[in-house]
Structure 1
């Protein structure tokens, strides 16, 4: 077995819970719309805007590569529908992005990153649009690869290979940690990496592990992950 030289992390629901973040960000943005684009707020709701994005995503799967573009497209459509000034869409997106990056890390994240820092390289591989610089975590990571930047989304092997190339390592020298069995576990393994299923919600499952997917290890916390990694990076 190859020694692990790098650990790649998914972000949303791996380093922080994402649902409360998105819900709050949508409320903050809608409050802004109520004040600055009342025609949109009067005609649409958070739920109806969300449903329209779902339809747009079905119509154009390329939006999976950049969820910011999806949200921008949905807002632009809503603004045009009620003759609001579309120049305000960018400001609405900025309001949303600021709130979207106001995440609260799981309590075990920083202790693990601090404890293994310098002993193994860290990277991130995400289909989302979180900004690690704004969040304050960028200094932990030697590489950050996002679908919106490379034009490839998980579970495609190319995005995992791009992350490995950024650190000048082989896929067999890396492990990827994530909460999604298909995107993170199966995707990483098919790309030649080891894969950890981070099942933080084991007591109240939000995802089931398909029978055909077998992670290299299942962890319910970064404390368990830390213990597993320390045996493989020395």
Structure 2
């Protein structure tokens, strides 16, 4: 490997890479529905959690551009439910604030904090996410020099533009950056199309489908650190 291609930066996906997200979203939707029952009872009575989820999926199918801002998607779904139920829209902001507070109550995987503390001594760190996690609220923002969210940037993974923008913000060439994520299409394919190396963080040990070729497959941060040490020593 050419010296210029030694990694200078490593960028991370957030949901299901630094923490599990499915149980967090499920719990957030339960607590949101309970909040609605107290503050917007017409909505809670008219729509179950499953109903609200189905309505969001229908909105997304009708307007795929909403993938860029999942918070806007959730708000649009809730607003439509409020209007159909005849509920006072002044409670919409409170509903969203309540959801986001619960959505950010994530617990990083056990290897994440030690791994970030080790990595930040060696290499620039950043994040790119299609989700709406708030790293300041979660308490991890100080580990990263750059954090890009699709909702603010205006384009979502796997669009190469968001990867290139993160590299530019860090002052590194794409070939000098590594992206780490759990999703083969959004993370691995997207990063590689932008010229970055891509590590599939495969915590569940799933077999890689035929045709996919991550630059590395790691089951944990420990394996990622070992792989990175080899790249830095090359």
The TM-score range, normalised by the shorter chain, is over 0.9
Q: What's the CA shift for 1:209?
A: 3.0
Is 1:157–2:160 an aligned residue pair? Answer: yes
Q: What's the CA shift for 1:119?
A: 1.1
Matched-pair contact (CA < 8 Å) for 1:108–1:221:
yes
Matched-pair contact (CA < 8 Å) for 1:119–1:233:
no
- Calculate the aligned-residue CA RMSD, in Å: 0.9
Mapped to 1, the partners of 2:134 and 2:17 lie a distance apart of 15
Q: What is the match of residue 92 of structure 1?
A: 95
Deviations 1:102-134, CA, capped at 9 Å, x for gaps: 000000001111112121000001100000010
Mapped to 2, the partners of 1:52 and 1:17 lie a distance apart of 24
Q: What is the match of residue 232 of structure 1?
A: 231
Q: What is the match of residue 222 of structure 2?
A: 223
Among 112, 120, 135, which residue is 1:109 paired with? 112
Among 22, 42, 45, which residue is 2:48 paired with? 45
Q: What's the CA shift for 1:210?
A: 3.0
1:52-201 alignment to 2 at 5 Å?
52-201=55-204
Q: What's the CA shift for 1:211?
A: 1.6
Q: What's the CA shift for 1:7?
A: 0.3
Mapped to 2, the partners of 1:80 and 1:149 lie a distance apart of 27
Q: What is the match of residue 29 of structure 1?
A: 32
Mapped to 2, the partners of 1:147 and 1:67 lie a distance apart of 9
Q: What's the CA shift for 1:59?
A: 0.4
Mapped to 2, the partners of 1:175 and 1:18 lie a distance apart of 23
